Structure formats: structure tokens, C-alpha cells
Structure 1
Amino acid sequence: MSRDLPARRPRALAWQRRRRALAEFWVEFRANRAGVVGLGALLAIGLIALGAPLLIDTDELSVTRATGPILDPPSLSYPLGTDDAGRSVLDLVIWGARVSLTVGFLATLVSVTVGSLVGIVAGHFGGWVANVLMRVTDWFIVVPMLVLAIALAAVLSRSTLTIVIAIGLTAWPPTARVVRAQTLAVEARPYIERARALGAGHVHIMTRHVLPNVMPLVLAQTTLLVASAIIAESTLAFLGLGDPTVVSWGGIIQDARGAGAVSAGLWWYVLPPGIAIAAVALSFTLCGRALERVLNPRLRER
């Protein structure tokens, strides 16, 4: 028992510091009203998306099995009206949240992973490695992300995985630049020199010293990228490059355009998915700005 105490004590102290840091973080975050509103909206939308299978009969989402009236305006039976196949627009919007949020999170995960890897490697090694990686990053920045995503989605098979890959592999340059700048700042600190003097290798320095220091910045960047990824997914689906068998917000708008809802004034078919996209993007942006203010000492002082 006495031998285990010295080993457990540092771990207990480490967990105690982490809990204290989380508590301080929540106090700072809670002081930002916009961030709290955004977080509450995201939690509500996430719960609705998770509970969609319990709220909606999947047969009603099928074009061939829908039993509702065609292009019926909002009523007690159909609060947001119906589409050109007799499906409830409310059910489509709720179910579409699952796909749009999933694509947004997965594409952001791919983008943040690639961007963080490129940024840390470029900032750590420098020299010709940084020049090559940054020139590739500059090329991706110069070419519009949407154009590259459309090209990839058009070449690959039409599926949700294709949309994730197309967005994730084209949205990483901003993260790479931000992470590289932070890596250069961390590499200039004295304890990095001490680690090198003690024989620490490149992998040890990047994973044990650089990565933990850039993670708060990456977290804030992630919340901002999710909003962009959801908008990009909706755009690709609206252009007909998404999976036609999957219900998403962009796909609903594309179907509404194909049915002539805009020219016919069928607002209940077009506005709900558009408002849902705007609400989720705004919520993630509010959370991202709040995180950035909490994690950045300079912004917090202001």
C-alpha cells in the first residue's frame, strides 16, 4: 500500500488540476452569453437529431410510401406542410439534421487532423519541409474550397462518405496555418531546448510538448470549421452531388428547387431547411467565438 501512494499522488494531483481547470473554463465560458445561447441551441438540435428515429416513422420518409397530400401548406396535421411527394417537411428537416450534423463533424475531424499534422510538422522541422508543406497549403488556399470539393465529389461515387472526404481534404489549410504559427511560438520556449538537451526526439517533442499546447487553439478552430462544413455539405447536396438516397438539409432545398417551390411561392418547402442550416451554423460560430475568447488570454483581457 505504501509503495502505491507515491505513484497515485501525482495522478491525483494531475486530476485535481484538470478538474480545477475545467471548472475555471466553465466559469469563463458561462460569462459569455452568446456562447451559452449557442451551446444550448446545439444541445437541443443534437437531442432532436438523436431522437429522430423515435419521433419519425421511416416509412413516411420514403417517396413511394408517403401518404400525405402533395405540396400542402402548413396545418395541424403537417406543421411545416408537405413536399411534392406528400412527405412532412418537418419530418424531413428533423431527419436531415442527423446527416448534416454527422457530415459536419466527420468532415471537420478529417480537416482538423490533416491541418494539425501539417502545421505541427511544418513548425517543428522548418527548413525545406516547412517550405514544401506551406506551398501546398498556399495552393489549397488559392483554389476555392468549394471548387475543389465539387471536383472531388464529381469524380468519386455519390455517397455521404464522398462528401466527408471532399470537404475534409479541402478545408484543412486555415487550421494548418494557425497550428504552425502556434507551434513556432511553443518551439521558442526554454523548456523545449531543455527537452532537446535531455535527448528528447522529434516525436516526443511534437506529441508531449507541442500538441498539448496547440490543442486549445485546435478546439476553438474545430467549432468554427463545423459550421463551414455543414454549409459546404448543404451546398454540395443542393448541387446534386450528395447521396440521393439520404435525407439532408441541402438535399431538401435541392428537391424544392426541382419542384419549382421558389417560383410557385411554396415557402414552407424552402425556408425550414434553410433556417435550420443558418441556425446550426450560427450556433457553432457563437460557441467557437466564445471558446476563442476563453482560451486566448489576450481576448479574455479585453
Structure 2
Amino acid sequence: MATAAESLRSFDTVPRERPRLVRLARLARQHPTGVFGLVVIAGFVVLGIFGPAIAPYDPRELRTGGVLEGPSRAHPFGTNALGQDVLSRVIAGARISLIISFSAVFIGGSIGSFLGIVSGYYGRWVDYLIQRSGEAWAAFPSIVFYFMLITAFGQGVKTIIIAIAIGALFGGSRVLRGATMVEARSTYVEAARALGASEARIFFRHVLPNVLPLTVVLMSTSLGGAILAESALAFLGIGVEPGTPSWGIDMSGENLTVARLGYWHVVVFPGLAISLVVLGANLLGDALRDIWDPRLRR
């Protein structure tokens, strides 16, 4: 029979929970691409917040001299056809693009996630109504809806946010519906019902906390699509107001014309900014998916 001292020694050998920083460091080593994506997104968020203080020039300033200058020490990204500093416009454009994309993803993702979770948990006519509505919406061309909404309410940041949010409403609802159906039919939920727990308690105490991480993953992976949608609308001339620093605007109109004449820097640097932030959002979303739900790995 073990003595009290031996019991205490065996208790001391039980591994303690690793500190949070150690666990975060291990996750960072396991998912380096996710860390890269997080750094990219965080960097552009900093640009969006402190852009006016960081930008070397006023992004709206028009100059008669120094038009279409190539990259130089004074203008690292060159100037456009209006004499505006391209670097300053890329920095200022981060604010507009991130405000629109983050807001649209949060609004559309929250509502869409709620619909998917409710559809998967309650099923029956609720599931049928939500899923048929999603299928009908998916059959309607998004660009036509964008044109209709912006024509009716005018160009502006709020209108673009609402348009992209509605367009992404049912994007992840089917994924959350499936995950919720699995949780609702799990053993611990059946045990909670057998013990007399109410449906509201089961939903909010057991099912919802287990599917919420998937909601964050879906939102992060949708961020890149929202940025591309905002840029595409600006490219088509139905985005934010003309003159507003925007990556999509800087890749459209007369900038495309002068780029074909050899002034590549006018559109290449805004395009690289879009590509980099979309890549960062996708890498971050993939890493979060692997961490929170390894079953979703490709």
C-alpha cells in the first residue's frame, strides 16, 4: 500500500496545464502560414487606423506637376495621372476596404450563421423555409442585385456594406446547418434531454458554444471574398464615391488606360495590396479551421 509521502510524490508528477503563452507558441510553430496571415491582416488594420498619420502625402491632393512619375525615393510607388502619390492612396485605401469588408462580413456572417444554426437545430418547416430561401438567393446573380441596390440608394460606404452583407448572407449557413445537426443529435444532448433540460438551455448551453468557433472560421475565410467584392464594385464604377481612396478605384478607369501605356505602377501596387490581404485572410481562416475543427481539413 502506498504511503502518504508516495501519494504526494505521485501527485507532483501529474503534468500541469501548459501556460497560455507556451500553447500559443506551439500553435504558431504548427501553423506558420496562419501566423503570416494574422500578421498581414494586423498590418493592414494598423494602416487603416493610422493611415492619415503614416501616409507621406495627402491621398486626395491633385498636382499639376509630377504626373505619372515612376517609383522613386520621393514617391516609392510613383504617382498617378492626377499627380497623386500611389503609396499614400494604397495606405488610405486600406481603411475603406477594411471598414467595408469587416463590417459586411460581420453583419452578413452573423445573420447567416444564426439562420444556419436555427435551421440545423429545429429542422422541419424552419429548415425547409431557410434552405429554400438560400437556394433561391443563390440562383439570383449577385452583381445584378448590387446594381439594383446601389442604383436605388446611391453610392456610399453604408450602401456597399449592406449590399455585400446581403450577398454573403447564406454563404456559410449550410456548413453551420450541418455542424448544428451533428451536435443536436450527439449523445450529450440526448443525455441533457433525458435529465429534463429545456430546449432553450440545450441550445444556448451545449449546442451554440460548440458551433460558434466554426462561425469565426467562416467569417475569416469570407473576408477575402468581401474585399474582392468591394474592389470589383469600385472597378465597375458602382463602389464608393469617385475620388475616395480605394484599391478598386485605383485599378479602374483612367488608371487602366495609362497602365496600358506603360505606367504599370499605377495599378500594380493597389493590386498587390488586394492580393496580399486576401491571401492573409485565407491563410488565417485555414489555420483557424485546422485548430478549432480538424475534421474540416482538406
Q: Judge same fold: TM > 0.5, yes or no.
A: yes
Query: Deviation string for 1:185-241 (max 9, x for gaps)?
Result: 010013323444455444433332222111111111111100000000000111111
Q: Compute the TM-score of the two structures, normalised by the length of structure 1.
A: 0.84
* 1:94 matched residue in structure 2: 91
* 1:48 matched residue in structure 2: 47
Kindly indicate whether residue 44 of structure 2 is the aligned counterpart of residue 79 of structure 1: no
2:160 to 160, 163, 168: 163
**Given the superposition, is the C-alpha separation of residues 261 and 114 from structure 1 closer, same or farther in structure 2, using an over 3 Å criterion?**
same
* 1:35 matched residue in structure 2: 34
Whether contact under 8 Å (2:40, 2:280) holds in the other structure is yes
Query: Deviation string for 1:125-159 (max 9, x for gaps)?
Result: 11111101000111222334344333323332211
Whether contact under 8 Å (2:184, 2:207) holds in the other structure is yes
2-structure distance, mates of 1:241, 1:173: 23
Correspondence list, 1:198-277, <5 A: 198-244=195-241, 245-257=243-255, 260-277=257-274
Whether contact under 8 Å (2:183, 2:207) holds in the other structure is yes
1-structure distance, mates of 2:166, 2:150: 11
2-structure distance, mates of 1:151, 1:113: 24
**Given the superposition, is the C-alpha separation of residues 88 and 68 from structure 1 closer, same or farther in structure 2, using an over 3 Å criterion?**
farther
Q: Compute the TM-score of the two structures, normalised by the length of structure 2.
A: 0.85
1:179 to 176, 180, 184: 176
Q: SS state of the match for residue 82, structure 1? A: coil
**Given the superposition, is the C-alpha separation of residues 237 and 275 from structure 1 closer, same or farther in structure 2, using an over 3 Å criterion?**
same
RMSD of the alignment, in Å? 2.5
More helix by share: 1
Kindly indicate whether residue 127 of structure 2 is the aligned counterpart of residue 130 of structure 1: yes
Q: SS state of the match for residue 235, structure 1? A: helix
Q: SS state of the match for residue 174, structure 1? A: coil
Query: Deviation string for 1:56-106 (max 9, x for gaps)?
Result: 367x22255x46522222222111111122110000001101111111111
- In structure 1, give the amino acid aligned to 2:72: S
Whether contact under 8 Å (1:93, 1:249) holds in the other structure is yes
Q: CA deviation at 1:171?
A: 0.9
What residue ranges of structure 1 are gaps of 5+ in the alignment? 1-15
- Give the length in aligned residue pairs: 282
Whether contact under 8 Å (1:187, 1:210) holds in the other structure is yes
- In structure 1, give the amino acid aligned to 2:33: A
- In structure 2, give the amino acid aligned to 1:253: M
Correspondence list, 1:137-156, <5 A: 137-156=134-153
- In structure 1, give the amino acid aligned to 2:51: A
Q: SS state of the match for residue 51, structure 1? A: helix
Q: SS state of the match for residue 73, structure 2? A: coil
- In structure 1, give the amino acid aligned to 2:90: V
1-structure distance, mates of 2:284, 2:204: 27
Q: CA deviation at 1:263?
A: 2.5
What residue ranges of structure 2 are gaps of 5+ in the alignment? 1-15
2-structure distance, mates of 1:193, 1:72: 69
1:113 to 110, 113, 121: 110
